[in-house]
Amino acid sequence: MLKDYFVYVWKHLRRRRLRSWLTLIGVFIGMAAVVSLVSISQGMQDAIVEQFEKVGADRIIVTPGGALAGPLSAGLTPEKLTDRDVAVIRNVRGVAFAVGLSASTAMIKFKDEATMGYVMGMPIDSETLYNVKKVGLFDVEIGRDLRTSSRYEAVLGHNFAKDAFSRNITVRDTIEIKGKEFNVVGIQKKVGTGLHDIIIRIPKQVAKDLFGIEDENNMIVVRVAKGYSPEVVAESIKQRLRREHDVKEGEEDFSVETAKEVVESFLRVLGIVQVLIVGVAAISLVVGGVGIMNTMYTAVVERTREIGIMKAIGAKNSDILTIFLIESGMLGLTGGAIGVIIGLLISKSVELLASKYWGTTLLKAHISPGLIIGVLLFSFALGSIAGLLPARKAAKMQPVEALRH
């Protein structure tokens, strides 16, 4: 019996092919928007988690200026971290290594072109260079790394060397930072974490002279020793820095965050943005649902006499109700299926364009069976709900009055 219902509905939809396609437009546009946005946002979450794994769970970042500050806020906050703070952190139980970095944005010139770049001054003592190599985020692909004897030398992030200017920068080229010439001695491997691929590393003392920085660090990177919890060590660092800065809890002029906390804050913000964007996109689904309802009301009017004949030969109200609910559900399901295909194509295109033209791996398309099945089920449910009132109207028709139509 149920198979006969589907056959009957399919034949009717084929007879009204143009009207069916016009009804589907509102549904698949909304579904395509929802699928593409959910796919991209979920892909961004996966990429952020992947970066967290690359950076390592045993990292702690200390920045000046409270919880809202970060490594890209260099020079924007009045609070400072000194070399004394680095020494204090190194003496905290559970800290394997800590290094203070001086970073700032600056105008970078190469040949006849100029662009803004993110310059990081890194200590070049043997201990720091040894620990930097262990991190694995600054591995040099072409050329060599900075040395203890380096002065006006620079190592470039992969993306900056390849994409910052119309011509690729290679080893032995010369770039100009704030009017000073630097020899490019190395190009880093592509890491995919964003920041590490665009930085320009130079000796810290040179960076201090270049930017007029004295005893000041924009960021202190801490590596936690094996067997210690990053959260516990981070709390110990906070306590020691409070005593050092003579501030009370809640009044800190610094921020101490584990890599996990940084990722979680990103994901929270991303989740809120995702809900808002998908909510806006879902408005078009309401339009699609209204379109299905309008189509079904028209179908009921057109087939009034047909409904009367079915009831006259023994069809029950539940049979009529089921037929029209299946029809509206199939409209929703078909629109959802088309929307899924279009949405996945859009999200995949965004991923390819972002990778090719922007050099970022953050925008990824996450394609999961759960997303596809969920959208298809929701589409069928949307169509069925939209067709409920027209179906009830058809089911309640009196056979005699319907046959007179």
Q: Which of 381, 365, 175 is nearest to 288 (CA)?
A: 381
Q: Per-residue pLDDT tens for 31-54?
A: 888 888 888 888 887 777 776 666
Element counts in the chain: helices (H) and strands (E): 13, 10
DSSP letter (8 states) at residue 212: T
Within a 10 A sphere around the Cβ of 333, how many other Cβ atoms?
Answer: 21
Report helix, strand or coil for 360: coil
Task: With beta carbons less than 8 A apart as the criterion, state whether 189 and 166 touch.
Answer: no
Task: With beta carbons less than 8 A apart as the criterion, state whether 220 and 99 touch.
Answer: yes
Tokens of 373: 């099945």
Q: Per-residue pLDDT tens for 202-225?
A: 999 999 888 888 778 888 888 888
Residue 380 pairs with which residues in a beta bridge?
Answer: none
Please say if the pLDDT value at position 73 is more than 60.
no
Tokens of 98: 């800590």
Kindly state the percentage of the chain with pLDDT values over 90: 23
Residue 105 pairs with which residues in a beta bridge?
Answer: 118
Backbone angles phi, psi at 364, to 5 degrees: -120, 150
Please say if the pLDDT value at position 272 is more than 90.
no
Q: Determine the Cα–Cα distance for residues 243 and 78; give it in Å rounded to an integer.
A: 19
Residue with tokens 């999961």: 368
pLDDT at 4: 67
Tokens of 375: 């959208």
What does pTM read for this prediction?
0.61
Q: Determine the Cα–Cα distance for residues 374 and 144; give it in Å rounded to an integer.
A: 51
pLDDT at 277: 74
Q: Per-residue pLDDT tens for 293-328?
A: 888 888 888 778 888 888 888 888 888 888 888 888
Tokens of 197: 């691929």
In 40-134, where do the E strands start and end? 59-64, 95-110, 113-122
pLDDT at 136: 65
Task: With beta carbons less than 8 A apart as the criterion, state whether 292 and 27 touch.
Answer: yes
